[in-house]
Amino acid sequence: MTKITIGARGSKLSLAYVSRVKGLLIKNNEELKEENINFKAIKTSGDINQNIKLSEIGGKNLFCKEIEEKLISNDIDIAVHSLKDMESVENDKLTIGAYIKRNDYRDVIISNKIKNIEDLKNKIVIGSSSRRRELQLKKINQNISIVNIRGNIDTRIQKLEEEKLDGIILAAAGVKTLKLNNKISILFETEVVLPAVGQGIIAVQCKKNNEVAKNFLKNINDPETELCAKAERKMLQVLGGDCETAIGGIAIIENNNLKLKAQLFSDSGSDSYEHQTTGRDADAINIGKEVGEKLLSLAGKEFKKK
């Protein structure tokens, strides 16, 4: 009888994502039963160092690094990540075996005071740990002040009250997964705020040489989400940059056509460059490459690849 161990962060949101992946694995693989699947919570550097900006300690991949190490050492068979936390270039021993059907990819404001976009034009203080979100909000109103806050969703909502912030900005996917929809005061359409690359996608990773895990995962992969993810991540690879680089991007498929819209801010944050391309969905990676190269040419010397 096949037994597999899933590894992920121990946050409430990670546990919800693991539960979703586990349910899909059981539903789509006859030989897998509930009792055959174990879970191992893994504390990551990103979870431990919550009072320091991610950019100062190595970037978002700190939420994945220790989990990937457990995969490589065979302590776990499958890893569950938020795709937006992963490096755009994977460890050569690992592979994403499944992209789970995308959740809501948009960003939201949680606030007791801010009810609509017009309210963002007042002098307000927003909690966020994202350079992208900070610069996008400042495009709406240059006078918005950003306070760095990190932690899981519950912690951030708590900080909203404790630190007397006017609001916090988060990914809709996490808020909705935890059934906190009633706390959302603004749901940003992508014309106003472009999400992070991979936002709303659960990525399930395994070792490249683990054929058993790969076979299980291919049965829960969502092909449309995979194509969107590959377009977005290729664009990110082309742009390079680091964890302080502000990049937004979203790929959407309609009638077998993939449209990738992306935004890159200059290193200073004072300028932004946008581009979108549409092509056949099967050409996702080339579309990502084209958009990345176009943004680099638009930004010129205002943006340096790290």
- Residues designated catalytic: 85
d(Cα 193, Cα 132) in Å, to the nearest integer? 9
List, in order, residues 6 or more apart from 56 with CB less than 8 Å away.
none
d(Cα 108, Cα 179) in Å, to the nearest integer? 14
Three-point CA angle 223, 212, 42, nearest 5°:
85
Of 232, 247, 241, the C-alpha closest to 288 is 232
What does DSSP assign to residue 139?
H
Of 147, 154, 107, the C-alpha closest to 128 is 147
Of 289, 220, 287, the C-alpha closest to 253 is 287
Sign of CA dihedral 228, 175, 13, 65: positive
Of 36, 135, 123, 106, the C-alpha closest to 78 is 36
d(Cα 6, Cα 2) in Å, to the nearest integer? 13
d(Cα 166, Cα 111) in Å, to the nearest integer? 6
Place of tokens 């979100």: 133
